[in-house]
Amino acid sequence: LQFVDTINGRTFYNNSKATNVPATITALKAFHDPVLLIAGGLDRGLSFDDLVPYLKENVNGVISYGETAEKIAMVAKKGEVEFIKTTETLDEAVQIAYEVSQRGDVILLSPACTSWDQFKTFEERGERFVSLVKKLAM
């Protein structure tokens, strides 16, 4: 769980290493401020239903991308998340998260999936997230 930056009152965290649901749950438990969760990646045919109770806690938005975008969006609906958006890429997801967020929000990349649909490694995905956040700061 890497702090990346705070931009206009929004705090960004990189948890690209969260390649499964339990790791994303652990990350969500770390925050008490409103969270916009960016999640998605390779579809390994696993369920995301264990996220539901944690989405109900303090997740105001879910922006899902990649092969699992629709599956994660369905789980976000079960979790009664206010804002749900699916995208094709991480780049789009970061931009949308920033646009719909408010001061005091946490924007968290915690994919609950492996990166292999769009990236070679979770490190590459995390580095891309960090570079996208840096571009927002410009």
Has residue 74 got a pLDDT over 90?
A: yes
pTM of the model: 0.95
Task: Return the residue matching tokens 């005091």.
Answer: 104
CA atoms within 13 A on the CB side of 69: 16
- Residue 133 — pLDDT band, cuts 50, 70, 90? very high
Distance from C-alpha of 43 to C-alpha of 113, rounded to nearest angstrom: 7
Are 105 and 82 in contact by the 8 Å Cβ rule? The answer is no
